[in-house]
Amino acid sequence: MSNVSLEEKKYKKFITIISIVIPVAVAALFGIKLPNVEPLSFLPPIYATINAITAVLLVASVMAIKKGNRKLHEQLNTAAIVCSVLFLVMYVAYHMTSNSTVYGGEGIVKYIYYFILITHILLSIVIIPFVLITFMRARLGNFPAHKKIAKITFPLWLYVAVTGVIVYLMISPYYVH
């Protein structure tokens, strides 16, 4: 007999669909430019700040659970998920109204930038099912399984949040205003 509950199977189907739909939708929307719409050039510093807030929330969440404060841990993680969704909405809105910015740095810094950018993008796709599975396991009260996957989810998600800020800081001098 399987240890996976019917409810968990239902969540896993939803998580699989979301984990595929979000990256595909972002990629598709990335290629769509809304005509006659003013570029939303004010968004990048806002969504970079949201990434920074996400990183702080994640660290605070780990500190909360290490102190045994499960309720605060849950609230901080929920807030981090909300921040990630807000980031995604703003990121897509920006790219649907603005041309992509070309990085203007040269030399070794250019390679560092692209390494950070590429790993950030790839891990931002990979992290979606990890976050959702980690969240689901906590919601279903499967704390041993939650804790096990959270040890993978936390550093990946933190990396994505922090590198989002770094990418913004590195490319911001090249934005056209």
Tell whether domain 38-174 is in CATH 1.20.120.80. Answer: yes
Contact 73, 65 (CB under 8 A): yes
Secondary structure class of 48 (helix, strand, coil): helix
Q: What is the DSSP letter of 100?
A: P
Predicted confidence (pLDDT) per residue in 56-112, tens digit: 999 999 999 999 999 999 999 999 999 999 999 999 999 899 888 899 999 999 999
Full-model pTM: 0.91
Contact 131, 84 (CB under 8 A): yes
Q: Check whether 2 has a pLDDT greater than 80.
A: no
Rg of the chain over all Cα atoms, to the nearest angstrom: 18
Contact 163, 116 (CB under 8 A): yes
Contact 157, 53 (CB under 8 A): no
Contact 54, 87 (CB under 8 A): yes
On the 0-12 / 13-18 / 19+ scale of CB atoms within 10 A, 114 is: middle
Q: Name the pLDDT band for 32 (thresholds 50, 70, 90).
A: confident
Q: What are the structural domain ranges in the chain?
A: 38-174
Q: Check whether 30 has a pLDDT greater than 90.
A: no
